[in-house]
Amino acid sequence: QKEVEQDPGPLSVPEGAIVSLNCTYSNSAFQYFMWYRQYSRKGPELLMYTYSSGNKEDGRFTAQVDKSSKYISLFIRDSQPSDSATYLCSRGANNLFFGTGTRLTVIP
């Protein structure tokens, strides 16, 4: 079983839509969860992180962790074409375990 499993997508939505990206993880000892965004031909950049359970909001982005179901989610409100990228969920501190990534395309 992989440490982090992610819906592979790809996902295509119209501009302004609400996007939901999801991952599950296997080890209940995980505390730090992160979402990275990777544009084509670029390295990943940290978008948001959460510690333990609960929600964290940053502008149009909300990260959610449900430890009871081992579920990690990222919600994007009012999606923009500039949000088109691959989104990677991960867990860990020093060495990160990543999901496979979900490729998102927001159509103008």
Partner 1 sequence: DAGVTQSPTHLIKTRGQQVTLRCSPKSGHDTVSWYQQALGQGPQFIFQYYEEEERQRGNFPDRFSGHQFPNYSSELNVNALLLGDSALYLCASTFRAGELFFGEGSRLTVL
Closer by beta carbon to partner 1, 13 or else 48: 48
Q: Who contacts 21 (Cβ-Cβ below 8 Å, separation ≥6)?
A: 6, 7, 11, 35, 73, 74, 75, 76, 87, 89, 102, 104
Closer by beta carbon to partner 1, 71 or else 78: 71
Closer by beta carbon to partner 1, 30 or else 98: 98
Query: Which residues lie near partner 1 (CB under 8 A)?
Result: 4, 6, 41-46, 49, 88, 90, 93-101
Least CB distance to partner 1 at residue 56 (A): 15
Integer Cα distance of 2 and 19 in angstroms: 24
Least CB distance to partner 1 at residue 15 (A): 25
The DSSP 8-state label assigned to residue 15 in this structure reads: T
Based on the number of CB atoms within 10 Å of its own CB, is 94 exposed (0-12), middle (13-18) or buried (19 or more)?
exposed
Closer by beta carbon to partner 1, 82 or else 94: 94
Least CB distance to partner 1 at residue 44 (A): 5
